[in-house]
Structure 1
Amino acid sequence: MNVQTKSKTADNGVNVDALLGAREALTAAPQAANFTWRAECKWLNGMHSRSTMTGFFGLGEEHTHKTPYNIDADHPECFAAEDDGATPTEIVLAALASCLTGGVASVAQHRGIQLRAVTARVEGDLNVYGVLGMDPEIRNGFNAIRVSFDIDSDASIEEVEAVVAQSQKLSPVFDIIANPGNVKVTVG
């Protein structure tokens, strides 16, 4: 009996072959896997600032983005600010949603799952008593973060859940938030 298996294919816009090639290349040159990402933030006025990302180091050399990317941050008027940008905490949530969503697209592509739509919704709970110095027992950061996905695809719910779980497992931003590393702040 001749059994043929049909390979599922999908086109979610992710170059999986390049990603798999990078894995193979990095196995042979592990030092190239060390990346340094950079952002420069300039104060504009009040609580308004602009972060710019122009380049990074990786694969053993410096790289420049095709264009500088800017993110404005501020606080809403209820915090006596001008509301000229998202809050830094919202930017963190957006980074988490973006990283997980990109991971979903990559993992789905690799598994031959065609996506039609992906929406991630992220909420973070934060008590401002900590930020305002009103209660030293209340932390300044999020007490809880919730991520929910709406995914329209050709896969079963079990396959979609497995894709999301793998995206979470591989997400650097999820790891940064869930397992904070060593942060050093200097002046000068």
Structure 2
Amino acid sequence: MNVQTKIVKNGVNTEALLGARGAFTETPEAAQFTWRSTCDWIEGTYSRNAINGYFGLGQENQRKRDFSIESDHPEVFAAADRAVTPTEIALAALASCLTGGVAAVAQHRGIQLHSVRATVEGDVDVRGILGMDAEVRNGFSAIRVTFEIDADASDDDIRALVAQSQKRSAMFDVIANPTNVAVSVA
């Protein structure tokens, strides 16, 4: 019997991820992570988030470099439009999480990806944000994610990749399910 091993190069180290699963089974407390972002107001609705350190694997960790995300609002809201809105950042986070998941699942399943594009749209009725109608929600009323994927796989296999990515996506869970949020003033 001649068995061929198909090598795919999607850039995901699935051996390390599976190894981490095994390690977390042995020491579940190491799987507890705390992510951070520090946001500084600059002017008007313009702000900048600094991201670097996080807690995980039982200790504080530093990234290889600092990251920043700026946010603002468009001119239609009497702002300077210097950066994306926080709402758009949330949509980008969802798209990034789902897309990364597709790559990881494809690597694990031996599916070579050629391209992946996620388009995410979210509907918001700004009357809620502006305090015009107490019955209108401040956040998204609906979010739609559409994938365009070119891969060496059947349509059913591609749909299964997306379904598994959605099932394991932290950002999908954050957006789709209630989360306890505590806000305080130091």
TM-score normalized by the length of structure 1: 0.97
Amino acid at match of 2:121: E
1:7 Cα offset (Å) = 4.0
Amino acid at match of 2:113: L
Superposed, 1:82-161 pairs within 5 Å as 82-161=80-159
- Partner residue in 1 for 2:7: 9
1:9 Cα offset (Å) = 2.8
Report the Cα distance in structure 1 between the residues aligned to 2:86 and 2:178, rounded to whole angstroms.
Answer: 17
User: Is this contact kept in 2: 1:129–1:135, CA < 8 A?
Assistant: yes
Report the Cα distance in structure 2 between the residues aligned to 1:34 and 1:44, rounded to whole angstroms.
Answer: 33
Question: What do the CA deviations read for 1:110-148 (whole angstroms, capped 9, x no partner)?
Answer: 000000000000000000000000000000000000000
1:13 Cα offset (Å) = 0.3
Cα RMSD after superposing both structures: 0.9
* Deviation >6 Å, runs of 4+: none
User: Is this contact kept in 2: 1:41–1:52, CA < 8 A?
Assistant: yes
Amino acid at match of 2:144: R
Question: What do the CA deviations read for 1:82-137 (whole angstroms, capped 9, x no partner)?
Answer: 00110000000000000000000000000000000000000000000000000000
Report the Cα distance in structure 1 between the residues aligned to 2:171 and 2:50, rounded to whole angstroms.
Answer: 18
User: Is this contact kept in 2: 1:129–1:138, CA < 8 A?
Assistant: yes
1:5 Cα offset (Å) = 4.7
- Partner residue in 2 for 1:168: 166
Report the Cα distance in structure 2 between the residues aligned to 1:156 and 1:7, rounded to whole angstroms.
Answer: 19
- Partner residue in 2 for 1:54: 52
1:54 Cα offset (Å) = 1.1
**1:80 aligned to which of 78, 81, 85:** 78
User: Is this contact kept in 2: 1:108–1:163, CA < 8 A?
Assistant: yes
Report the Cα distance in structure 2 between the residues aligned to 1:108 and 1:8, rounded to whole angstroms.
Answer: 12
TM-score normalized by the length of structure 2: 0.98
Q: Any stretches of 5+ residues in structure 1 without a counterpart?
A: none
- Partner residue in 1 for 2:185: 187
Q: Any stretches of 5+ residues in structure 2 without a counterpart?
A: none
Report the Cα distance in structure 2 between the residues aligned to 1:8 and 1:60, rounded to whole angstroms.
Answer: 37
Higher mean C-alpha deviation, range 74-83 or range 6-15: 6-15
Report the Cα distance in structure 2 between the residues aligned to 1:111 and 1:146, rounded to whole angstroms.
Answer: 26
Report the Cα distance in structure 1 between the residues aligned to 2:130 and 2:180, rounded to whole angstroms.
Answer: 24
User: Is this contact kept in 2: 1:74–1:84, CA < 8 A?
Assistant: yes
User: Is this contact kept in 2: 1:8–1:111, CA < 8 A?
Assistant: no
Report the Cα distance in structure 2 between the residues aligned to 1:5 and 1:158, rounded to whole angstroms.
Answer: 24
Q: Secondary structure at the match of 2:82?
A: coil
Amino acid at match of 1:78: V
